[in-house]
Chains A and B, each alone.
Chain A
């Protein structure tokens, strides 16, 4: 079965330091992968997506992710964390035309 695993339920970083949020997916010939961010009591906002084009994907707010087929990973990074980055982050993949398979989420805390 297709799956998405977010390896860390919580990540804490200091403001101005790099962010790494990890996501692994079960093997598939051509997954469509997404990263979303959710601030408290808000909807999900798309950060970036991978759809079989460039393996390094740049998103909004300085985030990027690298698709590594050999490692079945799609980790989200940002060079320098900002206080406003504190939120819940979800990795997801499409299963069929409509269904997202979500990871369990990673809560990012940014320390001043």
Chain B
């Protein structure tokens, strides 16, 4: 299995709703990522989990709450979002390896994304 799956594909929510995005991979990757992508822009990193521990939080507002229940699953819990949070949310995963020079080189595998609309 060489793919990252995300559910749901589309999500419409009000500003008072609570919802969750889900991401799953079975490639044995130990790093998992959440990105936010606005139209005509590159993805922006939000969170990184490495070995199920939060490694990077790119100063994301607390209305976004990530969770990594196990090495294959990644969730993003959403609460009290704003209309400007509407975007494509991408999940990705990768190995955590280095080449002989000690440099990381692992490509990230992306899921198809969840298109989120906040009303």
Hey, which bits of chain A sit against chain B, CB under 8 A? 30, 32, 34, 36, 41-46, 49, 51-52, 90, 92, 94, 96-100, 102-105
Structural contact, B112 and A98, CB atoms closer than 8 A:
no
Which of B4, B42, B99 lies in contact with A104, CB distance below 8 A?
B42
Q: B110 near A98 (CB under 8 angstroms)?
A: no
Q: Is B113 in the interface zone, CB < 8 Å from A? A: yes
Q: A30 touching B31 by the CB < 8 A rule? A: no
CA distance A44 to B35 in the complex (A): 11
Task: Find out whether the CB atom of A41 lies under 8 angstroms from the CB atom of B88.
Answer: yes
Interface bits B105-119 vs A (CB < 8 Å: 1, else 0): 101111111010000
Segment from B48-56, B63-71, B76-84 that makes contact with A: B48-56
State whether B111 touches A43 (Cβ < 8 A): yes
**A-B contact list, 26 entries, CB within 8 Å:** A32-B103, A32-B104, A32-B105, A36-B110, A41-B115, A42-B113, A43-B90, A44-B43, A44-B90, A44-B110, A46-B109, A49-B107, A51-B99, A51-B105, A52-B105, A92-B42, A97-B31, A97-B98, A98-B33, A98-B55, A99-B45, A99-B48, A100-B45, A102-B43, A103-B42, A105-B40
Q: Which residues of A contact B103 (CB under 8 A)?
A: 30, 32, 51-52, 94
Give the total of B residues in contact with A, Cβ under 8 Å.
32
Among A30, A45, A49, A100, max chain B CB count under 10 A is at A100
Contacts of B41 in A (CB 8 A): 104-105
- How far apart are B81's CB and chain A's nearest CB, in angstroms? 20
Q: Which residues of B contact A104 (CB under 8 A)?
A: 41-42
| A94: B residues at CB distance < 8 A | 103-105
Do the beta carbons of B42 and A43 come within 8 Å of each other? no
Contact between chains at B101 and A52 (CB < 8 Å): yes
Nearest-neighbour CB distance to chain A for B36, whole angstroms, equals 12
Q: Once the chains are docked, how many angstroms separate the CA of A32 from the CA of B106?
A: 9
Given A51-B99, A99-B56, the answer on whether A42 and B112 have CB atoms closer than 8 Å is yes
